């Protein structure tokens, strides 16, 4: 995933039995290509039968707050 065109951040985090992937893409188009691409298809196949529910995907927009260097993931 890190080598995909437009991938600026792709980081997995875990806590309390949950996995959260934080991603940043250079453009909505790059995210769209990733979403329909072979890497994500392989990940979905690898996770098949291992999840307690469907994936919950939320696309967020950064909201600058406080110190510009610390107030957003950008």
pLDDT (tens digit per residue) in 13-28: 999 988 899 999 999 9
pLDDT (tens digit per residue) in 27-41: 999 999 999 999 999
**What are the two backbone dihedrals, phi and then psi, of residue 72, each rounded to the nearest 5 degrees?**
-160, 160
Largest Cα separation within the chain, whole Å, is 43
Cβ(26)–Cβ(44) under 8 Å? no
**Range with lowest mean pLDDT among 4-8, 16-20, 28-32, 69-73:** 69-73
pLDDT (tens digit per residue) in 49-59: 988 888 888 98
Confidence of residue 72 (pLDDT cuts 50, 70, 90): low
């Amino acid at each position: 995933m890190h080598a995909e065109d437009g991938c600026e951040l792709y980081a997995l985090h875990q806590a309390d039995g949950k996995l959260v992937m934080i991603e940043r893409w250079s453009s909505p188009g790059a995210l769209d290509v990733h979403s329909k691409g072979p890497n994500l298809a392989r990940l979905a196949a690898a996770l098949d039968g291992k999840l307690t529910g469907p994936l919950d995907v939320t696309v967020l927009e950064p909201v600058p707050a406080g110190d510009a260097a610390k107030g957003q993931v950008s």
